[in-house]
Amino acid sequence: MPEITRDEVAHLADLARIDLDDAELDHLAPQLSVILESVASISGAAGDDVPPTSHPLPLTNVFREDVVTPSLTPEQALAMAPAVEQQRFAVPRILGDEQ
Amino acid sequence: MSTSTREAMLPWDDVLAAYDPALGLEVHVELNTASKMFCGCPTEFGAEPNTQVCPTCLGLPGAMPAVNGKAVESAIRIGLALNCEIAEWCRFARKNYFYPDMPKNFQTSQYDEPIAFEGYMDVDVDGETFRVEIERAHMEEDTGKSLHVGGATGRIHGAEYSLVDYNRAGIPLIEIVTKPIRGAGEKAPEIAKAYVAQLRELIVALGVSDARMDQGSIRADVNLSLAPKDSGALGTRTETKNVNSLRSVERAVRYEMQRHGAILSGGGSILQETRHWHEDTGITTSGREKSDAEDYRYFPEPDLVPVAPSREWVEELRGTLPENPTQKRARLQAAWGFSDLEMRDTVGAGALGLVEETIDAGATPAAARKWWLSELARRANEAGTELAGLGVSPLDVARVQALVDAGSINDKLARQVFDGLIAGEGTPDEVVEKRGLAIVSDEGALSTAVDNAIAANPDVADKIRDGKVAAAGALIGAVMKEMRGQADAGRVRELILEKLT
């Protein structure tokens, strides 16, 4: 049976930038384990002859033509930005995560 | 945080005596499709910020991606040209991370199912061939561009906030990753440079990218580690990001080898991290620590169905591949009569295609090489651009040489024609006319100038009359000066000798 540990929940919370305190971790870890167990029941229904499936439809190679379609105007694009400067999205600085 | 100090460096020979380098190169190639990877936004370089964005590339709720078929075709062609296997079936995956250069909070990429894998490229360095193994080439999308505002340096460290332009987000990108390149020894910097140069040449020949390193359409990350000599081990590596010129690839490898060498020989250990390359000072500085905790939670992209290129399609695309660059270079070198050194300089300057087109346009190989590698390479260097970005086309160069051959201008005047071409003053003929550069063929004017020179230099004239023809050079110089360079020196010499012998 899959089980998710408290440490794993803490790691996931860290990756997802969710600040969880000790009480929340204690509370959430068993809950997530229950969810995993429920989902794991699917593996009981699928035998070894059923390959893991990421896409429900048996489709491949759905391509579009390399054709330009109209973009938004910058006003539209920036309409919901929390802050705008020099026609750009102004966002808090983030250190250490530059790709 | 120190961002400018040069760290301790071990002398080059000491590095080679004690350590074996292992190199790894990750090259990102921006494709030149008309539209983005997953939406129909245009991809033109240099547009006003946030004018080439839509709900899909902005990651707005409900927007759905659709794969650009042309980008898949280009990816397969790149893979084939690198002697790779092409996947029979592969998927896109979400690479999850928190950084505002991707508004979706993930980058659509490929994870353990790259479209192309297990290839190689033979790289020529100093007349020797070195095989670089390719691990994979996968499809992904480019990220937005961040401008860091505030802080002391304007770079990310100390920045108060960032301004993001998403025009580049979603432009199709192929990431080409080598296997660790070992056994390169002292040639590691040259091999790294030659690999990127040859890869760029290949990309140009395929016609799948603008291949402009100065505009970021080809970007290299340089992984480097050192291990004790002959230990066969792999040391801890650093990854130097965004090394954006061929020369910098070479310099970055050399710098990191000497920096690692100083740390290791001092008993220290290398921190696995990314390093920032500084083009101006030629050094790297510490970036982000790359720990094992790096965890992107890749999972298959549910909004895009798998890509399964039929073998028929792959073979059809194989038929569209250009001539193998190594064979092509050998063929051109023989046809042009270039020495190994001349050929290497031509390739190294990224001028092979330009020289070829110039020759196709009618110039001799020697003339094409002379203009591109001496005159124009120097100017591109001064302007901090690439040859292709100088504003002078192969047709222009061929025309300038034709004007020289016809006696309309000389080499000195040709340099002024290039000034005009670079300044955007029109075609070579237009520049010659607008700037009044044509050689004066008016015999009367020439004759007068020659008479003046003889009158002003009676001693020299006497020597020539006495048969010392070599002295004519001084008079030719005087005439050329009076004609402000716009005379045919050969004709001037003839006139001088006619008048004095």
CATH number of the domain encompassing residue A12: 1.10.20
Nearest CA in chain A to B289: A96
Distance in angstroms (rounded) separating the CA atoms of residues B57 and B76: 23
End-of-domain residue from the set B435, B453, B474: B435
The number of helix segments (H) and strand segments (E) in chain B equals 17, 16
Query: According to the model, what pLDDT value does residue B386 have?
Result: 81
Q: Which of B291, B307, B341 is the last residue of a domain?
A: B291
Q: Is position A23 within any domain?
A: yes
Restricting to A residues 13-72, those with a Cβ less than 8 Å away from any Cβ of B are: 15, 17, 54-55, 57, 59-72
pLDDT number for residue B152: 55
CA distances to A6, B3, B27, B203, B247 from B193, in Å: 48, 25, 12, 15, 7
How does residue B385 score in pLDDT terms, banded at 50, 70 and 90?
A: confident
Same domain, B430 and B451: no
**B164: nearest CB among A57, A69, A88:** A88
Using alpha carbons, list the distances in angstroms from residue B168 to A95, B73, B107, B129: 21, 20, 13, 37
B71 — contact with chain A (CB < 8 Å)? Answer: yes
B141 & B220 share domain: yes
Evaluate whether residue B22 is within a structural domain.
yes
Contacts of A99 in chain B (CB under 8 A): 97, 99, 101-102, 107, 143
pLDDT at B27: 97
- Give percent of chain B with pLDDT exceeding 70: 96
Looking at the fold, whether B361 and B280 belong to one and the same domain comes out as: no
Which structure tokens are listed for A60?
Answer: 């491949």
Mark whether B402 and B287 lie in a shared domain: no
Do B94 and B235 lie in a common domain?
A: yes
pLDDT of residue A97: 47
Residue B453 lies in a domain: yes
> How many folded domains does chain B comprise?
3
Domain membership of residue A68 (yes or no) is no
Nearest to A95 among B34, B143, B156 (CB): B156
Q: CATH number, domain at B448?
A: 1.10.10
Tell me what the mean pLDDT of segment A17-44 comes to. 90
Burial class of residue B22, CB neighbours in 10 A (0-12, 13-18, 19+): buried
Asked whether residue B480 is assigned to any structural domain, the reply reads yes
pLDDT at A59 over 50: yes
Among chain A residues, the shortest Cα distance to B98 is held by A97
Token digits of residue B426: 């029109």
**Identity of the residue in A59, A90, A99 whose CB atom sits nearest the CB atom of B163:** A90
Q: Between A54, A68, A93, which is nearest B162 by CB? A: A93
Is the Cβ pair A77, B53 closer than 8 Å?
Answer: yes
Looking at B267, B291, B315, which one is the last position of a domain?
Answer: B291
Contacts across the A-B interface (CB distance below 8 Å): 142
B438 confidence band (pLDDT: 50, 70, 90): confident
Check whether residue B48 and residue B157 sit in a common domain.
Answer: yes
**Do the domain assignments include residue B2?**
no
Q: Give the dihedral sign, CA B342/B343/B347/B352.
A: positive
Say yes or no for a CB contact (<8 Å) between A60 and B308.
Answer: yes
Instruction: Tell me what pLDDT residue B207 has.
Output: 94
Q: Which one of B163, B166, B277, B289 makes the best mutation probe of the A interface by having the most chain A beta carbons within 10 Å?
A: B163
What residues of B are in contact with residue A60 (Cβ under 8 Å)?
89, 305-308
> Which residues form the domain of B466?
443-500
Does residue A71 lie within any of the structural domains?
no
Q: Say if A89 falls within a structural domain.
A: no
Under 8 Å between Cβ of B50 and A88: yes
**Per-position b or e across B257-293, b if 16+ CB within 10 A of its CB:** bbbbbbbbeeeeebeebbbbbbeeeebbbbbbeeeee
Residue with the larger pLDDT of the pair B69 and B447: B69
Are both B86 and B119 inside the same structural domain? yes
Quick check: A97 and B97 CB within 8 A?
Answer: yes
Asked whether residue B158 falls in the same domain as residue B177, the answer is yes
Tell whether A62 is covered by a domain: no
Q: Do B114 and B244 share a structural domain?
A: yes
In chain A, the number of structural domains is 1
Domain that residue A37 falls in: 6-45
B412 and B343 housed in the same domain: yes
- Please check whether residue B493 lies inside any domain of the structure: yes
Structural domain includes residue B97: yes
Same domain, B278 and B356: no
pLDDT tens for B311-365 read: 999 999 999 999 887 788 889 999 999 998 899 888 878 888 899 999 999 999 9
B positions 152-191 inside 8 Å of A (CB): 156-157, 159-166
Burial pattern B117-133, b for ≥16 Cβ within 10 A else e, equals: bebebebbbeeeebebe
Nearest Cα residue to B84 out of B159, B23, B161, B174: B174
Which are the contacts of B419, defined by CB distance < 8 A and separation ≥ 6? Answer: none
Query: Is the Cβ–Cβ distance between B79 and B200 less than 8 Å?
Result: no
Determine, yes or no, domain membership for B312: no
If we measure between CA atoms, which residue out of B107, B253, B252 comes closest to residue B166? B107
Residue B342 pairs in a beta bridge with none
pLDDT digits (tens, 9 = 90+) for B155-208: 555 668 899 999 999 999 999 999 999 999 999 999 999 999 999 989 988 999
Has residue B297 been placed in a domain?
no
Q: Does B10 touch chain A (CB under 8 A)?
A: no
- For B150, nearest residue in chain A (alpha carbons): A93
Has residue B1 got a pLDDT over 60? no
If asked whether residues B190 and B86 sit together in one domain, one would say yes
Token pair for B104: 């979706």
Nearest Cβ partner for A71 among B51, B66, B96: B51
Contacts A64 to B, Cβ<8 Å = 40, 66-69
Distance between CA atoms of residues A87 and A78, nearest Å:
8
Q: How many CB atoms lie within 10 A of CB B252?
A: 29
B residues 72..111 contacting A (CB < 8 A):
72, 89, 91, 96-103, 107
Q: How confident is the model at residue A72 (pLDDT cuts 50, 70, 90)?
A: very high
Q: Are B300 and A52 in contact (CB under 8 A)?
A: no
Measure in Å the smallest separation between the Cα of B42 and chain A Cα atoms: 6
The answer, for A97 touching chain B at a CB cutoff of 8 Å, is: yes
- Residue A96 predicted with pLDDT over 70: no
How far is it, in rounded angstroms, from Cα B197 to Cα B322?
Answer: 17
